[in-house]
Amino acid sequence: MSEDDGARLLGPLRSVDVPASGGVSVSRAIRSGKRTKALRVAAAGVFVLIAAGVLPVLIRPDPDPVAMGGFDPLVRTISAGSAGGFTPEVYVTGREKQMIVLRPERGGDQSAGVVVNAARTVGVPQGEAMPDVDGKRALWTGTYLAVEWARDAWAFVTVEGFPDDRERAHRVAQSLRFDEHVQIKVPYTVETSWTLDGVRDTGGDIELVFTNGVRLALRSGVGLAQGEAPQAELEALEKSVRPADPPVTNPFR
Q: For binding to other proteins (CB under 8 A), which residues are involved?
A: 1, 3, 5-7, 9-10, 12-16, 18-19, 21, 23-26, 28-30, 32-34, 36-37, 40, 89-90, 92, 94, 96-97, 99, 101, 103, 111-113, 115, 158, 197-198, 200, 202, 209, 211-213, 215, 227-228, 231
Residue 244 contacts residue 188 (beta carbons within 8 Å): yes
Cβ closer to other proteins: 21 or 220?
Answer: 21
Shortest gap between Cβ of 226 and other proteins (angstroms)? 9
CB of 245 to other proteins, least distance (A): 25
Give me the phi and psi of 169, to 5 degrees please. -60, -40
* Shortest distance (Å) from residue 72 CB to other proteins: 17
Residue 99's nearest CA partner among 28, 21, 201, 194 is 201
How many CB atoms sit inside 10 A of residue 95's CB? 17
In the complex with other proteins, which residue's Cβ is closer, 19 or 53?
Answer: 19
Question: Is 151 within 8 Å of 98 (Cβ atoms)?
Answer: no
Kindly write down the DSSP assignment for every residue of 165-188, as one continuous string: HHHHHHHHHHT-BS---EE--EEE
Tell me how crowded residue 138 is: count the other CB atoms within 10 A of its CB: 23
CB 67 within 8 A of CB 87: no
Name 7's Cβ contacts closer than 8 Å, sequence gap at least 6. none
Residue 18's identity, in one-letter code, is V
Residue 6 vs 45, nearer CB to other proteins: 6
Residue nearer to other proteins on the CB measure, 37 or 239:
37
122 SS3 class: coil
Of the two residues 29 and 59, which places its CB atom closer to other proteins in the complex?
29
Minimum gap (Å) between residue 229 Cβ and other proteins: 10
Q: How far is the CB of 160 from other proteins (least distance, A)?
A: 8
- Indicate the residue among 213 and 243 with the shorter CB distance to other proteins: 213
CB of 181 to other proteins, least distance (A): 22
